[in-house]
């Protein structure tokens, strides 16, 4: 019996080691202390959503923004990664107890967790990327200590859609005879689907006859194999260009394009490091938003409520170091970007996927 109890205890200990490795690793690796500012150091805590720092897009970009702030604004940053949605509240609370100058929650998935923690710590400043605090009924509530960092990803989706549509219409994309392009949506959330909606609107703006395939993935954002199978399905239906809006799982979707010698379009970050088959990426410069928000704290100008990041402040757009895209097409997309910036073209973030 004694042995059994020891073993149960050791199993529990193993679990904790598993958890703490995860938490201690990135935090320990990061603590950059800057002595040139002996006055009160600004400390910033970043909590990732369950996509993790290695999603190569969303959380990764937030981390890039934090690192840039560490470097340029001499603040002290720390990161807590969430493995599941159950980690959001504890992670946010951990930072709140340490009285950070700003706590940044990455991702709309944390809307409800942030609502609870921000209410509990009214003197602690928070920012949430891509969302606003949401109460238990799911209603968004503006809180005096939370900055909501919103983007217009539909603008970026529209621009890469224009590029995809033009390529396929000019008979330059793989499988152009089928007149079809594809996209995947990680889950049915506005922050995700706005990209897909902009994309199809962009494709149809240059080629109204094109078929735009859109599928939802299983909502986990890390099931690479499932996303890959969806990619194969769309390629089977004639798609020559695949646009991923599916976080880490989207890497599997892009791999389907790579494997079948089709083209891909990345999301959030410029993902052409995956290979030249990623012709461009729809950008959402979370790094820019994170950096600006930290800078506002440093300058003592915290904006509670909605803060919008778009083409106007250079936070959306497409990756201009394109591959397989002619200068003519690229310039056309840049011209359209200017029109969106001016407001002469308005992109709708809401739509029915795959339908006009």
Partner 1 sequence: MIAFHLLFLGGTFCSAEACSVLSNPLLWETTLVSATPLVLAAMGGTISERSGVVNIAMEGMMLVAAFFSAYVTDKAASLAGLAPWEAALVGVVGGIVAGCLIAGLHAWASIRFHANQVVTGMAINLLALGLTSYLYYTLYGSQGTPGNLAGIPNWNVPVLSSIKFMSLGPILFQENPITYLAFLSVVLAHIFLFRTRIGLRLRSVGEHPRAADTAGINVQRLRYLAVTLSGGLSGLGGAYLALNGPHGLFSDNMTSGRGFIALAAMIVGKWTPFGAMGACLLFGFGQALAIALAGQLTVGSYQVSVYILNMLPYVITILAVGGLIGRSIPPAADGLPYDPAESA
Residues engaged in binding partner 1 (CB under 8 A): 3-4, 6-8, 10-12, 14-15, 17-22, 25-26, 29, 51-56, 60, 63-64, 81, 83, 215-216, 218-220, 222-226, 228-230, 232-233, 236, 248-249, 251-252, 255, 258-259, 273-275, 353-354
C-beta closer to partner 1: residue 153 or 252: 252
Position of tokens 């973030």?
349
Q: Compare residues 48 and 310 and give the one whose CB is closer to partner 1.
A: 48
Q: Shortest Cβ distance from residue 246 to partner 1 (Å)?
A: 11
Residue pair 75/41 in contact by the 8 Å Cβ criterion: yes
Q: Smaller CB distance to partner 1: residue 179 or 226? A: 226
CB of 264 to partner 1, least distance (A): 11
- Here the tokens at position 186 are 């990680």
**Minimum CB distance to partner 1 smaller for 125 or for 285:** 285
DSSP state, residue 259: H
For partner 1, give the closer residue by CB, 211 or 332: 211
Nearest approach, Cβ of residue 341 and partner 1 (Å): 29
Secondary structure in 3-state letters for the chain: CHHHHHHHHHHHHHHHHHHHHHHHHHHHHHCCCCCCCCCCCCEEEEECCCCCHHHCCHHHHHHHHHHHHHHHHCCEEEEECCCCHHHHHHHHHHHHHCCCCEEEEECHHHHHHHHHHHHHCCCCCEEEECCCCECCCCCECCCCCEEEEEECHHHHHHHHHHHHHHHHHCCCCCCHHHCEEEEEECCCCHHHHHHHHHHHHHHHHHCCCCEEEEEECCCCCCCHHHHHHHHHHHHHCCEEEEEEECCCCHHHHHHHHHHCCCEEEEEECCCHHHCCCEEEEEEECHHHHHHHHHHHHHCCCCCCEEEEECHHHCCEEECCCCCCCCHHHHHHHHHHHHHHHHCCCCCCCCCCCCCC
Q: Which is nearer to partner 1, 90 or 354 (CB)?
A: 354
**Nearest CB to partner 1, comparing residues 10 and 326:** 10
**H or E segment and range at residue 25:** helix 2-30
The C-alpha atoms of residue 356 and residue 353 are separated, in whole angstroms, by: 8
Q: How far is the CB of 44 from partner 1 (least distance, A)?
A: 18
The pair of structure tokens assigned to 83 is 């493995």
The CB-of-260 to partner 1 minimum distance in angstroms stands at 10
Minimum distance of partner 1 from residue 223's CB (angstroms): 4
Distance CA 283, CA 230 (A): 23
Q: Which is nearer to partner 1, 56 or 284 (CB)?
A: 56
Nearer to partner 1, 81 or 148 (CB): 81
Q: What values do phi and psi take at 227, rounded to 5? A: -60, -40
Nearer to partner 1, 4 or 350 (CB): 4
- Closest distance of CB 250 from partner 1, Å: 9
Bridge partners, residue 281, by sequence? 266
């Amino acid at each position: 019996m004694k042995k059994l109890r020891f073993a149960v205890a050791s199993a529990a200990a193993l679990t904790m080691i598993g958890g703490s490795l995860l938490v201690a690793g990135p935090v320990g690796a990061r603590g950059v202390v800057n002595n040139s500012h002996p006055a009160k150091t600004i400390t910033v805590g970043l909590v990732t959503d369950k996509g993790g720092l290695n999603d190569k897009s969303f959380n990764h970009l937030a981390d890039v923004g934090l690192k840039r702030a560490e470097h340029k604004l001499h603040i002290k940053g720390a990161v807590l990664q969430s493995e599941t949605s159950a980690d959001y509240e504890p992670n946010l609370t951990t930072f709140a107890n340490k009285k950070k100058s700003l706590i940044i929650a990455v991702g709309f998935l944390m809307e409800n967790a942030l609502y609870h923690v921000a209410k509990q710590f009214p003197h602690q400043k928070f920012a949430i990327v891509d969302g606003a605090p949401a109460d238990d009924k799911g209603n968004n509530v503006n809180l005096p200590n939370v900055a909501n960092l919103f983007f217009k990803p539909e603008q970026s989706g529209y621009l890469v859609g224009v590029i995809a549509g033009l390529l396929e219409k000019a008979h330059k994309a793989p499988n152009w005879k089928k007149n079809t392009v594809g996209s995947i949506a990680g889950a049915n959330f506005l922050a995700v689907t706005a990209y897909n909606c902009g994309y199809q609107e962009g494709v149809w703006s240059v080629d109204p006859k094109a078929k735009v395939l859109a599928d939802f993935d299983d909502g986990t954002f890390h099931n690479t194999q499932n996303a890959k199978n969806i990619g194969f399905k769309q390629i089977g239906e004639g798609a020559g260009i695949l646009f991923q809006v599916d976080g880490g799982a989207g890497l599997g979707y892009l791999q389907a394009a790579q494997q079948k010698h089709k083209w891909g379009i990345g999301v959030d970050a410029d993902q052409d490091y995956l290979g030249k088959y990623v012709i461009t990426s729809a950008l959402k410069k979370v790094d820019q938003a994170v950096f600006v928000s930290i800078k506002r704290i440093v300058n003592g100008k915290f904006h509670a409520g909605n803060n919008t990041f778009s083409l106007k402040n250079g936070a959306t757009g497409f990756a201009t170091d394109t591959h397989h895209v002619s200068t003519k097409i690229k310039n056309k997309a840049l011209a359209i970007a200017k029109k969106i910036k001016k407001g002469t073209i308005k992109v709708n973030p809401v739509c029915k996927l795959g339908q006009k």
